[in-house]
Each structure stands twice: as C-alpha cells, then as structure tokens.
Structure 1
Amino acid sequence: MARPASVFAKIQSNQQRNELVALWKEDPHHYTRMRAHAIILSDAHYEIEKIVEIFGVKRDTVRDWIQRFEQGGVDALRDEDRPGGPRKLNEEEEEILRDLLRRYPSRPATVIARLRARTGKSIGRDTLRRYAKRFHLSWKRFRRSLRKRRDEKAFRLAQDELAELLKEPKIDVVYFDEAGFSLKGVVPYGWLPVGKRMDVPVTGAHGSNVQAIGFEHQDGHAQTYLHKGYVSTETVIQIMDDFCETIEQTTVVVLDNASCHTSHAFNACVERWAAHGLLVYHLPPYSPELNSIERLWKKLKYQLMPAEAWEKFSTLLNTLTSKLCDIGEVIFMPLLESYAR
C-alpha cells in the first residue's frame, strides 16, 4: 500500500506566525510549546515523518496537531483547563514554599517541616514535587565546580583564544581527554515510579576498568582509543603519534594539564608533532568547561550507558565500544586487543 501523502500546516499571516513563535518560546507547558514548534516546522515543509523523528511521537499525533491548528488556529494548540480540587496553598504560601526551595534545594524534609511551621499546612513529597515542577524546577544532580580555584583572567583569555582558533578555516581544533569506565559504575539520577528504585549492578572488581582516550572534532565526530589499566605518558605519546598520522591539515589539540600531558617525555615530543602539523594547546588549570569532550564523557556515563552495562567487564566493554562507534572510530590498545577478537 502506498504511503499517504504528507500533510503540511499553513500559517496564514505574520501575526499568526508571531503568536506561534511566542507560544513555542514562552508557554509554560511543554506539550504546548512542542505543538507550536511542530506547526512552524510543518509550515516550513518538514514532512510528518521528520517531525515524528524530532519529537518522538506517533504519526497520528502530529496529524492531530496539524488538524487542530487548521480548525482552531493557535488557541487550539493550548491544553484545556482540567477540573480538579482547590490548590493546597494560596499565593502567599506558594511564595513561602518557593523561597524555602531556593534556600534548601537538596533538603525536601526541611522544606516540608519549615513550610508547616510557617503556614500551619502540611504537604507530602508528591505535592512538593508537583509544586516544584510548577515553579519550573527539576530534581537533578549538583555539579562540582572548580571555578573558585581557577584564574578567571587566564580562563577568559583561553576562551577568547579558542574562539579565534575555531574561526580559522585552515585549522582543525580537536579536544583531547581521558575518562575511566569502571565496574563500580555510576549512579545517575532519573525519574522513577514513586516507591520503586532501579538497581545498578555493581561488582567492584579491582582492575576491571576501561580507559577511553579520545579526540573529539568540531563536528562531533570522535576518534577513541580504548585502554585497560593506568594511562601513562607513554600511552598518551603512542596515541598522539598515531593520531598525528591521520591529520590532513594543521590541527590544534586542546587538552588539560594532567601529569601525563605535561611530563618531560610528553614535552619532548611537542616539537616533533608540530613538524607534522599537530599543535598542542594546554588549557589553564580548572577549566573543564573549555574542553568539549568532557560533555561527551558525561553523556556516555549518565545517559547512553544502560544500567546493565556495568554488570561485568565484557558487557561494559562491548556497550562502550558500541556507543562510541555510533559517533566515530574506536581503536583497541594492545592490552585490549585480545577482547576484540
């Protein structure tokens, strides 16, 4: 059976387009913003299949959005008010709760207790969660920061220098770093059913770890070397030598000041690499935000690697290899070659 012809929304005027953009950018409800964005894309002749891929919804859902817009205009994209009981807190009490969440963001029990002391009203954790979402807050892991330890002037200078390098058409900028993946695993936060918790398998076996040593290009393509055990200066030099053979024009490698990147043996190779067009750019201390590949490691550990990946070494290695192959090339170092067979 032939696939039905794609249907496109048609925006009737600049005023209607402006209303859609405002709805997409400013409406407090996620699904309303998503519908408005989908209509804008459809008007730009994005086919339904593409919109389905972008938003992760069903084809019939997108068709319904377009039909709602065609029949009722921008207002039809908004959710109707739903019936429900009165709010637990009035506006003044909500402001008290908002302030308590700002002062004690990681202590829900304290927030509930202090709200009760100040208003005489008790709420449960589910209600607290609903109010937090209404205040556009989400439960997430705090980020460790080294900002207070770094030289802010040096950080800004490096930021400006990298921005200039990225503008040079005849220079490639790649980001280099290492990340360890151990069977001790990671324990990420996530939305789970109330009263239930997902277990993350942990064996804690000593030496059962993989070091990912990678180069990330500006377009997101990655070239990763997988190594078992400690990363020494000799390992880094071997990888730099191999990468040096793959470059096609002057390439600047951005990296941090780990000891294996600043040792005498490493520095002794810098001139030889430069002769091949590979230049080394050291970031100032405590500046991980300037190294783009740091975000790749974080995404791998906390989003792309499923919980069962940490159960045994072979599963960890196979899953990590598969995820890295999706974004580039993977090379096994000698200590892991036997696992690649």
Structure 2
Amino acid sequence: MVMKPLGLELSTQQVAELRRRLKCRDLVPNERMRLDCVRLAAQGRTAPQIASILDKHVVTVRKALHRFLDGGFGALADAARPGRPPRWGREDLDALEAMLDEAAVRGEIWTLPALAEWLRRERGVVLDSSWLSVLLHRDGFRWKCTRDSIRHQADPAPGCRMGTTGGSAAVRLRSEVGIEDLYYLDECGFSPTLPTGYTWARTGTRVVVNREDTKNRRVNVLGALNDTGPEPELLWTTVEHRIDAATVLDFVCNHIARLPGGADRLSTSPVGFKRSRPCTIVLDNASIHHADAFKGRREELAAIGVHLFYLPPRSPELNRIERIWRSVKYQDMPVRAYTTAKELHTAVDRALNRRAAAMTPATAQILKIA
C-alpha cells in the first residue's frame, strides 16, 4: 500500500473488504466514520476535504487514516472502554419490560425492589433500584395507581337483555332523535372522608387528610342523568338515611315522570296521566331496584309512559351516571374530609351543581330536588 499525496491506494481485496464493512448494519457511528475517511482518501481527497464532507475536524480525519495505515481495518473499531464493564444490557431491559407488559394483562403489581430482584434471579443482573427507575422512565413506564374492574364477570353480550324497549343502542338512538327521554338512574354514597386522591405538592412534603368517623355522617345521593336529546339534565336528591325501594319509586314518580301527587297517585285506577314524552330509565340490578315496592309497579309506570331497562349483571360501566359519581368524588370536591353531615351535604350539592352546569346548555334546566 502506497500513500499518495492526496489519498490512499487500496488493493482489490481491500476495496471489497471496505464495501463489505460499510454494508454492515451493526456498525457503530465512529467506526463508520473512519471507514468513510478511508473510502474518500482512496478516491484522492485530501484530509481537509474529507473533514468538510463528513463535518469532522481535520485532526480526527488524520487520526483515522493513520489508524488504518498502522493496523488495517481491524484498527478502525473503537478500543475497549476503561473501567468496569456495564452490568446490564439492552436485552435485559427488554426482557424486564416484556415481563411487565405480561404482568399488566394478568393484573400483577411489581415494585422497584421486586423488579431488581427479578433481574438478579432471572438475568443475573445486579441493578440499583434508583437507576432502574430512571431506565424505566426513559422507556415510557410510570409508577401509577391500579384500578379494579368486574368486566370479566359481566354478560358476554351486554345490552341485549331485557326490557320492554329492546336493546340499549336502540333506546339511546330514540333519545338522541327526541322520540323519548333516556335517564340513567343510580345511587351513590359519600363518606366524611373521601377516597384517597392525588394533588400537587412541594417535593419532600405530603398532603395529609384527616380521617373522620363515618357514624351518622354519611350522605346518600339518588340521581338520574339525561345526557342526550334536546334538554339534557341532571336530577338528584341527597338524603341522610338509607335509600330503599320506596324512595326510588317516589323519586321516579315525582321528578322523572313528574306525576302530580307522586307515588300515591300511581295507585289510583285509572291514573289519568300520561308523560308528555315517553321515557326509559336505565338502572342496574341492585336489590332495591328488583324489590316488589319498585319493580312490582313497572306496569303502572309503563301506563304513564315510564319504562324500566335493567342492565346486564356486573356491568357498571354501561350506566353513564357512574361517570358523574366518580368525577364528583375524585375531582370536584377539593376538601377531602368533613366533620359534620351538614358540611358534607352542602359540598356534595355544590359539586353536583357545578357538574350539572358544565353538562347542560344555558337553556336546559338544572334541578336539585329538596
């Protein structure tokens, strides 16, 4: 091999070897840069020209050419880095993340110490928990709350069962076009200490919520949501006693059917009243919804234009008012503990009023039933 003033002269075998190495997909950037220096020098380029083409310093180009002249292609690879070799590889982290994806499907939870132990046991890798947290964050993993679900117990074909009005999709369509009203009815309980949530706080501090006694302080809410049609509305009543079938029947007659005289009038034969627009009430399979004091009156309710639609068992996600309850509990009540039932009662009403105002247009009615 003879060094020309403006480049290198390569043999036929060296040219073939250079082309083969440049086609390798696993080349590290520095080795590819040195091979490009050799290729350009063999074409008759000077070191400054090569530096300009590769956007490198001219000293870097000359070092690469001297490495090739002194040791051939084998000298162009990166030298071994000094110090202790890394204790883990990309394949170890990929295996850990694949395990976490499978664990999420099975509903398993893993802490950082448990993950570090898994790496030690399964991969022979010793990795500090704090550094493992950094690596997982880089790859899009986060430490977050789990949630529970009973969907695995639900009817495999929800919405096809029951009711005099057919499937839930057909009921919702009739509501959207204004043929009838559709209400989602449910009960919800509020304790003096609300469920644990999240908040922003300064590093090193933790917001503490005082846990209050629940005796004689719980507030129960019975509500109905109509979020389709021309006049969406949220109806609710707050009570400090247990909600039973009679309470549900009275709520339906007075505030959904708007039957003059309420449930007492329902017993009159004939009632002599018909709701201006038929309505369907979607509700779950709670015992009070199937009690004779309520479900036993379904024929009388149908006679005044109110039909009952029972959801499949263990399908709470199909009842749209459940979203209202969750939003109120976890987002709309910043004060998380109340010392009296009156304070809790007021806070629940205030939160529901805000939620209803955000849901309904200005012309719709927002009604809190005393």
TM over 0.5, yes or no? yes
Q: Matched residues in 1 for 2:155 and 2:281: separation?
A: 21
Change (3 A) 1:250 1:139: farther
Matched, 1:226 2:238: yes
AA partner of residue 221 (structure 1): E
Change (3 A) 1:141 1:116: same
Q: Matched residues in 2 for 1:305 and 1:230: separation?
A: 23
| Cα deviations by residue, 1:23-46 (Å, 9 ceiling, x for unpaired) | xxxxxxxxxxxxxxxxxxxxxxxx
What SS does the corresponding residue of 2:213 show, helix, strand or coil? coil
AA partner of residue 157 (structure 1): C
Aligned to 2:214: 205
AA partner of residue 323 (structure 1): A
What SS does the corresponding residue of 1:273 show, helix, strand or coil? helix
Aligned to 1:166: 172
Answer whether contact 1:183 1:312 (CA < 8 A) is retained: yes
Q: Matched residues in 1 for 2:245 and 2:312: separation?
A: 20
Answer whether contact 1:100 1:111 (CA < 8 A) is retained: no
Change (3 A) 1:100 1:150: closer
Aligned to 2:96: 97
Q: Matched residues in 2 for 1:304 and 1:137: separation?
A: 28
Change (3 A) 1:301 1:271: same
Change (3 A) 1:192 1:108: farther
Q: Matched residues in 2 for 1:88 and 1:134: separation?
A: 18
Match of 1:240 among 233, 252, 261: 252
Change (3 A) 1:145 1:209: same
Q: Matched residues in 2 for 1:320 and 1:203: separation?
A: 16
- How far does residue 309 in structure 1 lie from its aligned partner after superposition? 4.5
Q: Matched residues in 2 for 1:222 and 1:161: separation?
A: 23
Aligned to 1:178: 187
TM-score scaled by length of structure 1 = 0.63
Aligned to 1:331: 368
Q: Which structure is higher in helix share?
A: 1
TM-score scaled by length of structure 2 = 0.58
Larger gyration radius, structure 1 or structure 2? 2
Superposition map of 1:12-91 within 5 A: 90-91=89-90
What SS does the corresponding residue of 1:145 show, helix, strand or coil? coil
Aligned to 1:302: 330
- How far does residue 192 in structure 1 lie from its aligned partner after superposition? 5.5
Change (3 A) 1:188 1:164: same
Answer whether contact 1:177 1:213 (CA < 8 A) is retained: yes
Answer whether contact 1:225 1:331 (CA < 8 A) is retained: yes
Match of 2:145 among 119, 133, 141: 141
Answer whether contact 1:324 1:330 (CA < 8 A) is retained: no
What SS does the corresponding residue of 1:326 show, helix, strand or coil? helix
Answer whether contact 2:116 2:126 (CA < 8 A) is retained: no
Change (3 A) 1:211 1:139: farther
Aligned to 1:283: 311
Aligned to 2:116: 112
| Cα deviations by residue, 1:283-329 (Å, 9 ceiling, x for unpaired) | 12111111011111111112222244545433322221111112334
RMSD between aligned residues:
2.9
User: What is the aligned length?
Assistant: 245
Gapped regions of structure 1 (runs ≥ 5):
1-86, 334-341
- How far does residue 260 in structure 1 lie from its aligned partner after superposition? 1.1
Match of 1:122 among 123, 127, 131: 127
Q: Matched residues in 2 for 1:132 and 1:221: separation?
A: 45
Superposition map of 1:261-280 within 5 A: 261-280=289-308
